[in-house]
Amino acid sequence: MSADRRPILLANARIVDPSRDLDFNGDLLIADGVIRDAKRGIGAAGVPEGTEIYNCRGKLVAPGLVDMRAFIGEPGAGHRETFASASQAAAAGGVTTIVCQPDTSPAIDDPATVDYVMRRARDTAVVHVHPMAALTKGLEGHEMTEIGLLKAAGAVAFTDGDKSVTNAQVIRRALTYARDFDALIVHHAEDPNLVGDGVMNEGEFAARLGLIGIPAAAEAVVLERDLRLVALTGGRYHAASVTCAESLDILKRARDAGHPVTASASINHITLNENDIGSYRTFLKLTPPLRGEDDRKLLVEAIASGLVDVVMSDHNPQDVETKRLPFAEAAPGAIGIETMLVAGLRLVHRKELSLTTLLRAMSTRPAELLGLPGGTLRNGAPADVIVVDLDVPWVLDPNELKSKCKNTPFDEARMQGRVVRTIVGGRTAYDFV
C-alpha cells in the first residue's frame, strides 16, 4: 500500500452510495483517512494544499467492497493463499475488507488464534481483514466454542466454514448463546448425508455427464431446520450460501414471520449455472454445486428484492494437484475475490440488477450485518473507496490474477468493466496502469 496519505480529490466522477441510494455526478474529497465530502462542484479551489487531484472522467466512485466469505490459507495452508496474496487480489478487485473463514490449520477456535490472524493480517495485508471464528471446537460439530471470548478478541461472526453442523442441539445452543452477545451465526446449510458422493447438481445434466448428483433438498432440509431453531431461540442467523428456489421459499417465510434471518449468495451462483460445467470443467465444481438456470434467475431476483442480502466471492483457492483431476475426484472451490465485482457487472450490463443494488449487496449490507465500518460514502466514514471503469472491455487471463492459485471459473472470459483504483483508509492500495 502506498505510504502516501495526502488528501485526494476524485473529480468528475459518477458517485454511487448504496447506503443512501445516491447516484449523482460530482466530486469526492478524502483527507486524513476519511471521506470529507461528496457533492457536485468541490473543485480544485476547495481542497487542502497538496491534494492529489484525480480526474475520474465519468468513472464510477463507490464504497469499497466487503467480501463476507473468503478462505485464506493462514495459518497452515499458505501454499493456497496468504493474507498478502489474498489482499493484493482483493485490492485489484475493489474489495477493501475481507472476512476470512476459520477452516484453517489450526482452526480459528480460540482467542489466541483470532489474535494471531488479526496481527498477521495487519502486518502483511493491504486491505482490512476480519476473521470469523469457528462455531464448534475444531470444526467438529460437537462442542460450541467460547462465543463471548472470541467476539471480544475480534471475531465478527461464527461459522464452521463449508462444514454443516448436523447436530440440531448444538445449533440451538449456539443460537441461544449468541443471542446474548448479539453475535451472528453463519451456517453452511448442506446435509452431508444427502450430499453423499454427489459432485454436482442433481438432474438431467448430471445424468448425461454420468456424475452423481446432489439434490437441492440437501440444502433446504438443513435451512428449514435452522430457521425453526431461530424461531425457537431468537438468535441472529445468516445462511452462508443459498442456491435454490426451495431455500428462497424457506427464507421468505422466516422473514415474513419477523425472524432475524439474512442470507448470502455467491457470485458464482448468480452468474453461472450447471451447464457452464460443460465437459467436466473442474474449476466449476463448487460447494454447494451450481444449480439450473431457473434457480440462478430466482437468486438474482431475490437480491433485487432484498430477500438475499449479500453477494460474496466464496473465494476458495485450490492448487493444480487438487483441481487437475477427474471431476468426481477434484476438490470443490473457485477463487473469486478479484473477479467478484467484474462478474457481477455482467448482471448490471444485462439489466438483471441495478448498479446500486449490486453494490449494496457487496458493500453496505455485509458491513451492516457484521458491524463493520465501510459500505458508505457518508462524511466521516473511513476512506475505503474504489474507482471503476464500467465500460472497458477485456479478456480475463488467469496468469495475471494476483491469487496464488488460478482456479477461476472465468478463465478467458470476456469482461466489461474493471477496477482502476482502490483506496483503503485514505491510501492507494491498487492502481491499474
Active centre residues (catalytic): 314
In whole angstroms, give the CA distance from residue 14 to residue 137.
Answer: 47
State the SS3 of the chain: CCCCCCCEEEEEEEEEECCCCEEEEEEEEEECCEEEEEECCCCHHHCCCCCEEEECCCCEEEECEEEEEECCCCCCCCCCCCHHHHHHHHHHCCEEEEEECCCCCCCCCCHHHHHHHHHHHHHHCCCEEEECEECEHHHCCCCECCHHHHHHHCCCCEECCCCCCCCHHHHHHHHHHHHHHCCEEEECCCCHHHHCCCCEECCHHHHHHCCCEECCHHHHHHHHHHHHHHHHHCCEEEECCCCCHHHHHHHHHHHHCCCCEEEEEEHHHHHCCHHHHCCCCHHHCCCCCCCCHHHHHHHHHHHHHCCCCEEECCECCCCHHHHCCCCCCCCCCECCCCCHHHHHHHHHHCCCCCHHHHHHHHHHHHHHHHCCCCCCCCCCCECCEEEEEEEEEEECCHHHCCCCCCCCCCCCCEEEEEEEEEEECCEEEEECC
